[in-house]
Structure 1
């Protein structure tokens, strides 16, 4: 199928990948409508992509080669060991007691650098409009209609919703579908890796993800590349403060730099109470401007395509981050979209093929992430008392037959 006009609502990772796929497939016009006016490349979050998924996505053309990444090889699960810390002194030696170690064949990325690579790989024919806020969408058999802030109305043959958690395209396709609060929050932060030495020693495990385990939560810590050198990225899952002052009706309630004094105090107390001393000191070095709190949500939709509307990435399924699959899932969606376009002889055929290829995949990711969240946050096991064999068995119980985290291979 060739020709037609495509609007991509949202211009981040999924949006760039879908715009490039549509342009290369032969669409006459591809327009990206991104509401943010600022520099998306400034977003400093870390993310990981499984080595096998990265190879598949590079071969499919949705993950450009050459984007800076940091190689990870293993995951270390540690618990606080007060006895060891008493005599260890200040240094990485008080980094906790290892309870289990597993292979972790992933590469980590800086969100902004990954987006920059995807944006640079987008064909020049794509029109990328920032500051364009879509307020409403309707779709039907003859096309999609977009209403923009300010009153403008634009018509396209297809509208792709790559607009994340609060997708207006999802609202048009699946009215009333809303992400559901999981009962806990995610603290995120990152810091210059050179500052890590101030916590006692240089990182003794730069190729490893360290998972700090404690009652009622867990935290993953790993290196990512940064615009000015390596950074330490961390993601901490735990219950929120119970004082009732934290709003939990918005997935981005407290963006970077917006932490209140009460939230900062709560985080500091959590680090001092539950973390191995070394890792508590490392995380405490994070600047407030690089720290934020995100309530954890999830959502699976009944439909991801229909009526000239199509959902991509987080707009289609909101998956708790435990899966380490968010970026890979968005890029796999784009690869499936490109493959469906090549096979289709009509818009209905394109939507049907995409729906069949990616609907079940999204629901599987949501289900796995819920199991991981229950086991690693909501109903944590007695990690300090468990043997490595018991932790390995506990992990397999969470997977429940899934081959691992990071997303499954795409169906050829």
Structure 2
């Protein structure tokens, strides 16, 4: 497509930064990013992972900038409480070719790689998108409005832009939550090795602690002040009539309710091997939060002159470890469509053809993973390496791995 045009990117986090960079480098005359948050996005400290193959692919095309701190992971260890050892029983170990990232450092790398021509506006909350078929109009909370040749909704799982593409599509609560936290890895030193002559938490390993009705993944991530330990625990929340999850929401760090905090503490005491329960208890309250799990399979990811990216396009449960890779792949596919499409309409339709099915596939796989690891967990204590491998193949149901497929779906 020829250069030119005005593009608005609604949402300035990872997906938004990636799309803005691709659009500016492709030759758009004007690119503006509208981020509703007025605070420091870099302060978001939670961890995430990208499959090594996806990272290599995204680095090769320039969507993942060089120099962003990442921690290498090579294996995933599955552990269950056995009552005899502090660290529990290791019943399976599988390859895990990923690197972990700190959300804030990754965002800083993407933000820093953005061309100077991009206008990045914080505190700019979009309230509606109208006229999607031709030069859509953005309406902002401050009463202003603006027209653009193309609008990209990168505004997350509570997307406002989604209504212009798939009216009435809303994320649905999956029936469970994840507690998340992170802390300075140096705090682990007082815990010991978890057993005679063993290191139960190797630096290159992800540990999955399994229990009836849930699981918890624990791994190291880079941080601004050194290595941190990041963990994500999935389980049904305690019964509390004051909690409602029918509307997409979360309990940010430092604002977890007393009932949820007590529920987490009881779960750790009841279900976790003592070593891992003590490890999670090292997390300061200000670095602990709760995220109800939602998902959404949108009927389309583009319509008229509006397209959706990242979590705005499809809400995928985190079990698939593919969220960031998908957002960056969305941006890459957008750039490819720009290079070959003769018109805006063709660009949007080519993007939909490339990324709509990919989002649907990820939602389906993550639902199977959530069912197997939270909703209908197996008898973890009866697992052996052979049984675990068979169980895992059944859950994947033909998918080659978690972490997303290559661009093009091959």
TM-score range, shorter chain: over 0.9
1:263 aligns with 2:264: no
1:58: which partner in 2? 59
Mapped pair 1:308 → 2:305: yes
1:31 and 1:128 in contact (8 A); partners too: yes
How far apart, CA to CA, are the structure 2 residues paired with 1:250 and 1:293? 14
Q: Is the 8 A contact 1:170 1:316 kept in 2?
A: yes
| Per-residue deviation, 1:203 | 6.3
| CA-CA distance at 1:250 after TM superposition | 3.8
CA, structure 1 residues 171+140, in 2 after alignment: closer, same or farther (shift >3 Å)?
closer
Instruction: Report matched runs for 1:39-54 at 5 Å.
Output: 39-54=40-55
Matching of residues 294-373 of structure 1 within 5 Å: 294-373=291-370
Is structure 2 residue 282 aligned with structure 1 residue 285? yes
CA deviation map 1:269-305 (0-9, x unaligned) = 1001111111100100101110011110000111101
Quick one: distance in 2 between partners of 1:184 and 1:260? 16
CA RMSD, Structure 1 to Structure 2 (Å)? 1.1
Select 2:227's aligned residue among 230, 239, 251: 230
Q: Secondary structure at the match of 2:226?
A: coil
What TM-score do the two structures reach when normalised by structure 2?
A: 0.97
Q: Which segment is superposed worse, 290-299 or 243-252?
A: 243-252
**Cα distance in 2, alignment partners of residues 253 and 367 from structure 1:** 23
Identify the match of residue 208 of structure 1 among 205, 219, 232.
205
- Deviation, 1:405, is 0.1
Per-residue CA distance 1:217-255 (angstroms, 9 max, x = gap) = 000000000000000000000001112222213433311
1:275 aligns with 2:276: no
Asked if structure 2 preserves the Cα contact closer than 8 Å seen for 1:34 and 1:133, the reply is: yes
Match of residue 129 from structure 1: 121
1:374-389 paired onto structure 2 within 5 Å: 374-389=371-386
Which residue in 1 is equivalent to 2:16?
A: 15
Aligned to 1:198: 190
Return the alpha-carbon distance in structure 2 between the equivalents of residues 63 and 261 of structure 1. 39
Residues 41-67 of structure 1 deviation map (CA, whole Å, 9 limit, x = unaligned): 000010000000000000111100110
Rounded Cα–Cα distance in structure 2 between residues aligned with 1:217 and 1:114: 29
SS of residue paired to 1:58: helix
Following the alignment from structure 2 to structure 1, what is the Cα–Cα distance between the partners of residues 88 and 200? 13
CA contact (8 A) 2:240 2:259 kept: no
Q: How far apart are the structure 1 equivalents of 2:303 and 2:261?
A: 44
Any stretches of 5+ residues in structure 1 without a counterpart? 85-93
Contact 1:44 1:110 (8 Å CA) reproduced = yes
Distance 2:33 2:131 in 1: 17
Query: Offset at 1:139?
Result: 3.3
| CA gap 1:137/1:40 in 2 versus in 1, 3 angstroms | same
Deviations 1:82-107 (A, max 9, x none): 023xxxxxxxxx22100100000000
SS of corresponding position for 1:83: coil
For residues 377 and 139 of structure 1, the distance between their equivalents in structure 2, rounded to whole angstroms, comes to 42
CA contact (8 A) 1:139 1:309 kept: no
Moved more, 292-301 or 245-254: 245-254
Matched residue of 2:175: which SS? strand
| Larger deviation, residues 38-47 vs 194-203 | 194-203
Q: Would the aligned equivalents of 2:307 and 2:348 in 1 still touch at CA under 8 Å?
A: yes
What CA deviation, in whole Å up to 9, does each residue of 1:175-221 have, x standing for no partner?
Answer: 11000110100110000000012333486411000000000000000
2:172 to 174, 180, 191: 180
Q: What's the offset of the Cα at 1:141?
A: 3.2
State whether residues 75 and 209 of structure 1, in contact with CA within 8 Å, keep that contact through their aligned partners in structure 2: yes
Given the alignment, which residue of 107, 115, 125 partners 1:115? 107
Q: Structure 1 residue aligned with 2:239, among 218, 237, 242? A: 242
Q: How many positions carry a matched residue from both structures?
A: 403
CA distance, structure 1, for counterparts of residue 42 and residue 235 of structure 2: 28
Moved more, 28-37 or 168-177: 168-177
Distance in 1 between residues matched to 2:89 and 2:242, nearest whole Å: 35
- In structure 2, C-alpha distance between the alignment counterparts of 1:253 and 1:61, rounded to whole Å: 33
Counterpart contact for 2:10–2:151, Cα < 8 Å: yes
- Distance, in Å, in 2 between the alignment partners of 1:140 and 1:97 is 56
